[in-house]
Structure 1
Amino acid sequence: MNLTKVVGACSLGAVATFHPVLAFVVLGAIVTAAFMFTLMLKWFARQPHPVRKDVIALIQAMRARH
């Protein structure tokens, strides 16, 4: 399990203890961001553009590092 998920889960748990509504808002924001990121990747994959391969490689490298 990577560190980002652990820290995210712990901070979400801490927020939920103090303010349950805020926790749902934060969770919603994270889910929305992930969904938009996926849509962006799919959009890039459909573009017949020379920069596209570089961008996808860069994103994959960034994700692999985390």
Structure 2
Amino acid sequence: MDDSFLFDDLLLAFWLLVFSWVFLTSAQAIIRDHCHHVNLKNKFKSGGMENEKLLRRTDK
């Protein structure tokens, strides 16, 4: 068995692991932000105009 093929496989496995970690970390942050926004929206749903302004301020 050639050592270069083993090295290529290990390098590919490493980059797949790094890519997966970055993708999952980004997805976790997006989901957390979305859930936070939905929770705020539900919390202030019956609050009136001042709560709507507060909600818009937290969207930015």
Shorter-chain TM band: 0.5 to 0.7
Moved over 2 A (4+): 48-56
What percentage of residue pairs aligned between the two structures are identical? 7
What is the TM-score normalised by the length of structure 2?
A: 0.53
Number of paired residues? Answer: 45
Superposition CA RMSD, Å: 2.8
- Aligned AA for 1:29? T
- Aligned AA for 2:24? G
The higher relative CO (CA closer than 8 Å, separation ≥ 6) is in 1
Q: Does 2:17 correspond to 1:21?
A: yes
What is the TM-score normalised by the length of structure 1?
A: 0.50
Largest Rg, 1 or 2: 2
Gap regions ≥5 residues in structure 1: 1-15
What is the match of residue 56 of structure 2?
A: 57
Aligned partner of residue 40 in structure 2, secondary structure: helix
